[in-house]
Structure 1
């Protein structure tokens, strides 16, 4: 049974329990979550095995953020959830139709508001750890040769030491954890809306600023004017001038490499991308780099 069929079966069984129509279901993402677009403007999210607590937390985070004045994807309140099938949680969400990715300025404005929120008191957010799952992905990847695997593990260990040595921030705050323009979308209403809540946690605010900054510095995917609008909308704080910038930037890039490595078992393009990304990290390809989205 292929992984895709396995996800299909989980969706079908969960839909039977919840009374959801899955005829014509469209798989729109198969990554850390399986995400389907369904009829009646419903989106199904299927978590990894054993992630039931995380799914429950995502549902609570959605309600909390909306109640706190930060527009966020809403769950289907009329459905009992999460539904657990084969130890995988399935949650139902309202579709956000015809949306576009946010601009850098829109993303920064949302992050500025998010980082100003006091953490919820009704439930506890975890502490963000950017190294979660990295070693496992590198160790178990069949496409890596011995040399690349050893280098990636050593690189990860070096970065972990550097990360642990960073000075403690004056305070930690609520962060999104995966803050890129595709995770803040703008529907026809014009109201930017937050997606993908599984990494919302307590951490350094710089982590939420690093993805767009890396796109600007190492990939030249963000024009200078757009990056300036990002900095200005966040209140003038430019993370590229922070002493720990390179440490977080290198960790983020390693995470992007590890994601490609994890996808490569069932995706030949991901395997090609993984090799290319590793070559970039190892200094064999000069920046600005060209990495295709997966």
Structure 2
């Protein structure tokens, strides 16, 4: 069997810098996750994707350019560089560095999503329909820590939720959807006292067309199922979005269950190589199976 050897991320960065004409000397590692992020001199951030994610990187590039044309406040690409720069099957995208910032409040997130959902459909982009089940089947099948009973339960639950999703009740008309909307993906730069900061949207990997309710779910379940935010914080989110409370929609529990299943499967995807993730995955599964009463306490990764 032939073993495929991949370049280390630092080598990918150096080759991408040569190809795009960017000086990467002294690059500072910011994050080593599903995407590897480096801060470079000159106010540039390099984002290195996983192998096989070129299409996702091109989506991010296209969405960022569209948002710039719409004058929507979002993180911007460096316009003079090759986007993406492909090295060893991995996409490297180049972004403008954001100054010191904080995560959005629920009110700031709600207003940002309201404005985002009101943008006209981009005819120039070939956006796919949002698939909230993307990758879940693979994560379940690859999780070695699962008992046969747990695997069967997860597979059956996934099938049931797919069926429910196909028959969601009428809600808000379809819009462009961010796909992973939470306070960490909208940031607010520090500004001098007396000036109003403008929230900036990040992370366009999951942008598509679909139910705008999908962008409201994470904050809603943070209130209803986890109590990570207060009642007042959730009320501010609803008010800033325009008064629409997704928890009152008949399709709420279906989307909430899908989002929570995604979070559980994320822990599963790390469990084969991390005992901490394995413990958390078992706990999250116990919650989903009704063995742990709400509000749940899930450890962050």
Deviation of 1:58 (Å): 1.0
C-alpha distance in structure 2 between counterparts of 1:6 and 1:146, whole Å: 36
The count of corresponding residues between Structure 1 and Structure 2 is 292
Who is 2:159 aligned against? 157
Question: SS at 2:93's partner residue?
Answer: strand
C-alpha distance in structure 1 between counterparts of 2:214 and 2:25, whole Å: 37
Contact 1:28-1:37 within 8 A present in 2 as well: no
Residue deviations 1:137-165, cap 9 Å, x none?
A: 11112232322222111111111111112
Change (3 A) 1:157 1:117: same
Structure 1 segment 189-204 matched on structure 2, within 5 A? 189=191, 190-204=197-211
C-alpha distance in structure 2 between counterparts of 1:184 and 1:11, whole Å: 26
Deviation of 1:253 (Å): 0.2
Change (3 A) 1:35 1:148: farther
Change (3 A) 1:68 1:166: same
Matched, 1:287 2:294: yes
Question: SS at 1:186's partner residue?
Answer: strand
Question: SS at 1:35's partner residue?
Answer: strand
Matched, 1:20 2:23: yes
* TM-score (normalizing by structure 1): 0.93
C-alpha distance in structure 2 between counterparts of 1:4 and 1:155, whole Å: 36
C-alpha distance in structure 1 between counterparts of 2:172 and 2:201, whole Å: 26
Contact 1:15-1:22 within 8 A present in 2 as well: no
Residue deviations 1:6-31, cap 9 Å, x none?
A: 43333333223223315343141402
Change (3 A) 1:86 1:144: farther
Contact 1:99-1:188 within 8 A present in 2 as well: yes
Change (3 A) 1:166 1:280: same
Q: Which moved more, 1:139-148 or 1:209-218?
A: 139-148
Unaligned runs of 5+ in 1: none
Answer with 1 or 2: which has the greater Rg. 2
Question: SS at 1:147's partner residue?
Answer: helix
C-alpha distance in structure 2 between counterparts of 1:104 and 1:4, whole Å: 41
Matched, 1:226 2:233: yes
Unaligned runs of 5+ in 2: 192-196
Matched, 1:257 2:259: no
